[in-house]
Structure 1
């Protein structure tokens, strides 16, 4: 029975229409790298808790500038530095992501705050999980399905748990079916490898490590969770033929179908049907085992041929030459028609190539060596003035030998030292005010292993700056 069309979720009612524009453009790989970095550093689960109102726009643009400064994918791929300045490129990329819907900008007072919509962040998290996913363990999925059905049968869970178990059952079968197809595709690609070393390396890197089911060797053992699918089917039968069915149908009617009894029954039947399909897991596993056995035989035969053929090839050629020299003249006739074997009439006519269309686009501008040198110098200048947490820790750790060091004892020999000294002064000034260095502040992340105490009544003059005196104290482990 087909699902109700009204139950088909609408994708673009949840995400913006142009969301996939940057990922479908010619520079999609570069855009993905920048989005992945922003998600990991600002909006992902591993990033610090973002402010409730979002980040300042200039902070996000500064992140994009830093990514381009340290690792510019456009320059790495094309071999040339882009003509636009670094701030202009970062602002253009920010506007591209904001227009597509990956970032949301709001004005709060006089400030422009940036955040990532929850549905977009969830989609980006799913894409990241899809990329980083390794070999699956079928036993864990079966255990999860069984535990959820036990909760439903005991009355401790409702239709949402039943839907989750049904989705996991469908994903389990889809994964096994997809693995069979991937095994066949990978073996077809491996057959194109030219050398034995590259074939063996690709076999273990792609076939064994990425496609192999983690608990494949234990699938048919007595204590494997897959052996308890009979218990899962028994609970599904109990749900379908007891008062539990009425309770779940009422839950679907009240929570998902707006009181529509027929649609609630269809949703319940779909969930039960998906759970009942787990009985077909043996069929999928048998096909997977047949594909794996075939792939193993092909791999062994290929390696055996590659390892043995060069040794016997000279012997076979010599044997063929001796047989031709010793054979009678009539035996050496080829089974071909009369006439010249390599006559021009037997050859395939040459392929006629169409004339190339002359391009009328503007010629590409090639940067001169002077322009390349200037841009390289500009990047080095900006990097020397950029203070990262590791730069500050390196400067403090070099001069903080005892428990503390006075600002007058901090030498300034390079631009990087001057910027590190200014950053320490900023930490001392802002750290002396209550509530200034809040959690999530980028400056707060630089205070690792030390703290800065400001002495406003005295001053330090090191020949470059005349500033309030401060003292850097060691805190915990050495910086």
Structure 2
């Protein structure tokens, strides 16, 4: 089925000894044939040859192997034009390029099957990182579009199924890529190659662009439950299923039974993929953890390998072999023997365990506790020293027009009065806030002690109001 649609020699240029040259040329031609601004797919032959020559010059081709027994092919190319001619003829003969004559000009085009093959090969070569969030949102938007308008846009359900299928295939490719990379790193004994391979192949090519968001509250799979809920409701919504079936029947021109089977097949495919996401991501996370652990160990011990380590190990083993197996030589220096002791074996990094979800309930506080808190706040507020309270307390005792008030004449009827009376004798110690109040009064102390309101015993004093 493959070779009925592709030329027989389509893979010949990519399997020979000059495959690196043809790879560069095909990547260059893909930018020309797949240009978004390209309106006419028929491209002039001169432009195609110029694009090939640019790739040859930029690559700097210096080695070429004859590809056939033709006498003209046995001689090596001598210039970039010779390279261009030979590469162009080879691509035409193997079916990559097809020429078409229009009056006096020759145009070049790609067959549909060859164009599709080249696009996929280019995507493999560039292997751009995928975005999980964009894929999930694409499935959700296509599904909502099909459910909101099954008569006009029901075909978007098929697009959602195709997107989910591509997403599932990408997860499989990612897992297989991690496995291959793990085997490659395990076989390597060069620390530099291990670190370089990890960053070049894993971080730049395999790792998903928004992988870190999978462990956050903005997880792109937070829409998965919504997708599954919509699909499960759709399975039992006979009216929408019937409308989708009619739309499928009209779009694909098939019978009603086949259209209904296709609708349920697409629904079940999306459900299966998104129900198994957690298990597949757990397997991918296991491979990722093993890779990162090995690279972390490599980086940690890269600078600890010193010259003469092999000889030192040999001497230690020789000393151990001289004993009967029951006696271990005394440790004299951690520098010599520390690296083989059990305490020197680093414990592996603990894996981050996902916190199990739990229901958060508001804690009910005892009303008695709330009442006690309120009483404490009120008691604290009454004991707070405020200048306006002291000023009001003094004005209350000078209301009858007297010019001075003795200590024994002050009244203390509450805790607030007690606090104010305690600070009346020390207005100057309250700072700038009590400056205005202190300037209006003058205090004069005497040697006698008095009892005020049967509550406070203090040194006698008299407060005089200053003239305004």
Instruction: Give the TM-score normalised by structure 2.
Output: 0.58
Q: Secondary structure at the residue paired with 2:63?
A: helix
1:317-466 mapped onto 2 (5 Å cutoff): 317-325=314-322, 327=323
| Cα gap change, 1:146 to 1:316, in 2 (>3 Å) | same
Shift of 1:177: 2.8
Match of 1:298 among 294, 302, 324: 294
Q: Output one character per residue of 1:253-282: Cα deviation in whole Å (capped at 9) or x when no partner.
A: 2222x3333332332232112111111101
Is residue 241 of structure 1 aligned with residue 236 of structure 2? yes
Measure, in 2, the Cα distance between the counterparts of 1:276 and 1:329. 62
**Equivalences for residues 224-235 of structure 1 within 5 A:** 224-235=219-230
Deviations 1:355-406 (A, max 9, x none): xxxxxxxxxxxxxxxxxxxxxxxxxxxxxxxxxxxxxxxxxxxxxxxxxxxx
> Deviation at 1:149?
0.6
**Gapped regions of structure 2 (runs ≥ 5):** 67-73, 328-468
Deviation at 1:306, TM superposition (A): 5.1
Q: Is 1:75 aligned to 2:63, yes or no?
A: yes
| Ranges in structure 1 where 5+ consecutive residues have no aligned partner | 1-9, 332-479
Work out the CA distance in 1 between the residues paired with 2:2 and 2:251. Answer: 21
Look up the SS of the partner of 1:219 in the other structure.
helix
Alignment pair present for 1:23 and 2:14: yes
Q: Tell me which residue corresponds to 2:341.
A: none
Assess if the C-alpha contact under 8 Å between 2:18 and 2:65 holds in 1: no
* 2:32 maps to 1:32: no
Equivalent residue runs for 1:140-159 within 5 Å: 140-155=134-149, 158-159=153-154
Match of 2:399 in 1: none
Q: Give yes or no for contact 1:139–1:226 (8 Å, CA) kept in 2.
A: yes
Q: Deviations over 1:166-190 (max 9, x none)?
A: 1221222222233222222212211
Instruction: Give yes or no for contact 2:146–2:155 (8 Å, CA) kept in 1.
Output: no
2:133 matches 1:139: yes
1:113 Cα deviation after fit: 2.2
State which of 38, 50, 54 in structure 2 corresponds to 1:49.
38
Which residue in the other structure is 2:96 paired with? 102
Q: CA deviation at 1:118?
A: 4.8
**Matched-pair contact (CA < 8 Å) for 2:14–2:23:** yes
Relative to structure 1, the CA distance from residue 207 to residue 329 in structure 2 (aligned partners, 3 Å threshold; closer, same or farther) is closer
Q: How many corresponding residue pairs?
A: 315
Are 1:75 and 1:82, in contact at CA under 8 Å, matched by a contact in 2? no
Determine the C-alpha separation between the residues in 2 that align with 1:328 and 1:17: 72
Distance in 2 between residues matched to 1:100 and 1:183, nearest whole Å: 35
Aligned to 1:90: 84
**In 1, are the aligned partners of 2:178 and 2:288 still within 8 Å (CA)?**
yes
Larger radius of gyration: 2
How has the CA–CA distance of structure 1 residues 32 and 266 changed in structure 2, closer, same or farther, with 3 Å as cutoff?
farther
- 8 Å contact 2:241–2:260 — kept in the other structure? no
Distance 1:70 1:218, change over 3 A: closer
Structure-2 change in CA distance of 1:305 and 1:271 (3 Å): same
C-alpha RMSD of the superposition: 3.4
Structure 1 26/245 Cα, relative in aligned 2: closer, same or farther at 3 Å? farther
Please report the TM-score for the alignment, with normalisation by the length of structure 1. Answer: 0.57
Q: Secondary structure at the match of 2:217?
A: coil
Distance 2:84 2:312 in 1: 65
Distance 1:269 1:99, change over 3 A: farther
CA distance in 1, matches of 2:203, 2:192: 16
- State the partner residue of 1:128: 122
Change (3 A) 1:300 1:54: closer
